[in-house]
């Protein structure tokens, strides 16, 4: 949350996992501490996951080029408000749908610091459902990238990957 300071980190949509001082206290049961950890190594492909930040004036040509990249296995769509994309008269949605049909996992994350993606609250967001984009709930951008990278590195694809992306695994999102 801040570039300098001991209070640099925050959990905007979730209670703090721990408080660090002279000691460490865990004010609530932590999802990070539950279950058995899996320390099996994974194959990380740094070209498999990308982020498409939506912004005024963005290039449709560059967005389509990213979505057509054959090394792409997962994309985090960094959208407005409750998960709304730019229109581009449907061309971006068509490119997303084509990527999804090719097996690219598409995860929609909001640019807002608090709140969650609710695809369907507006027509533009509802169209993402039809294109196969997964609504991410309230996961942060950084957590979404890490989650997508790890799941793809573990070899998940298709429905198994979609199911894992749609659920909270370690408290990274509230659903």
Residue 170 has pLDDT above 80, yes or no: no
Phi and psi (nearest 5°) for 50? -140, 165
pLDDT tens profile 54-69: 988 889 999 999 999 9
Domains of the chain: 44-165 (3.40.50.40)
- What pLDDT score does 21 carry? 80
Alpha-carbon distances, residue 16 vs 20, 25, 30, 173 (angstroms): 10, 10, 9, 13
Give the separation between CA 87 and CA 112, rounded to whole angstroms. Answer: 19
Residue 24 in 3-state DSSP?
strand
- What pLDDT score does 145 carry? 96
pLDDT tens profile 9-47: 777 767 777 777 888 887 766 655 666 667 788 889 999
Phi and psi (nearest 5°) for 77? -90, 115
Give the separation between CA 90 and CA 119, rounded to whole angstroms. Answer: 16
Name the pLDDT band for 3 (thresholds 50, 70, 90): confident
- What pLDDT score does 31 carry? 56
pLDDT tens profile 67-125: 999 999 999 999 988 888 877 778 999 999 999 999 999 999 999 888 888 888 887 77
Does this model's pTM top 0.95?
Answer: no
């Amino acid at each position: 949350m801040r570039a300098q300071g001991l209070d640099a980190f925050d959990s905007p949509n979730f209670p703090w996992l721990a408080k660090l001082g002279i000691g460490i206290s865990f004010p609530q049961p932590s999802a990070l501490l539950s279950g058995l950890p899996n320390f099996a190594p994974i194959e990380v492909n740094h070209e498999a996951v990308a982020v498409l930040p939506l912004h005024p004036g963005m290039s449709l040509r560059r967005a389509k080029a990213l979505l057509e990249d054959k090394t792409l296995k997962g994309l985090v769509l960094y959208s407005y408000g409750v998960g709304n994309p730019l229109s581009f008269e449907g061309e971006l949605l068509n490119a997303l749908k084509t990527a999804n049909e090719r097996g690219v996992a598409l995860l929609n994350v909001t640019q807002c610091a608090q709140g969650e993606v609710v695809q369907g609250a507006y027509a533009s967001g509802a169209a993402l459902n039809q294109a196969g984009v997964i609504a991410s709930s309230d996961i942060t951008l950084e957590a979404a990238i890490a989650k997508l990278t790890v799941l793809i590195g573990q070899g998940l694809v298709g429905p198994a990957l979609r199911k894992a992306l749609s659920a909270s695994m370690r408290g990274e999102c509230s659903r």
